[in-house]
């Protein structure tokens, strides 16, 4: 007779309770599969030991044997406190993420017949965006038969790039895709 008759769960599977099961990124202690491992750590003679001996060395110090480099021959293991090691790894990942710059992409839309006032207005905004470190995707949208004036669109985008050359550099020159001709401009690095 099953303990949970209404459950479709096999009897030897643990309850998940809606939480995601997280697999450990490193093999620890008995989960290490190699027969011999190179052991490193504090107060330890760096050498190749049988896995059982290495685990015993870690347990004698009330620490864990953690497989750091599984692809090495033999695998490299370190005797450390695993929970502390995981915490340090998470901290490093968080720091790397925080230091990574998030690039903002701003779009500037033009028509093939954009007049000078609108053009200057958009240049002024583009300068502000570039000073904030954003990238700009400037494009000319051709509606209906205005696609005949492709060269006007290209001239307009090159004029736009020239107006912004003090503040940004062109990453991608004007390119036509479908009914849009676009160009990418990135902010110049601050000195």
* Same domain assignment for residues 165 and 120: yes
Q: Is residue 96 part of a domain?
A: no
Whether residue 61 is found in the same domain as residue 116: no
133 located within any domain: yes
Residue 126 domain-assigned (yes or no): yes
- Using one digit for the tens of pLDDT, what is the confidence trace for 17-72? 666 666 677 888 888 888 899 998 888 888 898 989 989 988 888 888 888 888 88
Assign residue 80 the CATH number of its domain.
3.10.20.80
Burial class (CB within 10 angstroms; exposed 0-12, middle 13-18, buried 19+) of 93: exposed
28, 65 Cβ separation under 8 angstroms: yes
Identify the CATH number of the domain in which residue 136 sits.
Answer: 3.30.110.10
83 and 115 part of one domain: no
**pTM greater than 0.75:** no
Domain assignment of residue 77, given as a range:
29-88
**Structural domain count, the chain:** 2
Total Cβ atoms within 10 A of residue 47:
10
Q: Tens of pLDDT along 131-146? A: 888 899 999 988 888 8
Give domain status of residue 1, yes or no. no
């Amino acid at each position: 007779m099953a303990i949970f008759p209404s459950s479709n769960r096999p009897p030897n599977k643990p309850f998940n309770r809606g939480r995601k099961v997280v697999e450990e990124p490193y093999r620890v202690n008995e989960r290490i599969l190699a027969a011999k491992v190179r052991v490193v750590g504090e107060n330890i003679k760096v050498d190749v030991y049988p896995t059982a001996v290495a685990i015993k060395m870690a347990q004698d110090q009330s620490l864990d044997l953690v497989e750091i480099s599984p692809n090495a021959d033999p695998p490299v293991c370190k005797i450390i406190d695993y929970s502390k090691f995981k915490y340090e790894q998470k901290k490093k990942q968080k720091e790397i993420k925080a230091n990574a710059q998030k690039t903002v992409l701003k779009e500037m839309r033009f028509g093939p017949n954009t007049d000078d006032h609108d053009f200057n207005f958009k240049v002024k905004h583009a300068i502000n965006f570039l000073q904030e470190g954003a990238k700009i995707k400037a494009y000319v949208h051709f509606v209906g038969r205005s696609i005949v004036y492709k060269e006007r669109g290209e001239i307009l985008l090159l004029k736009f790039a020239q107006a912004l050359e003090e503040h940004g550099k062109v990453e991608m020159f004007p390119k036509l895709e479908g009914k849009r001709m676009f160009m990418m401009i990135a902010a110049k690095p601050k000195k």
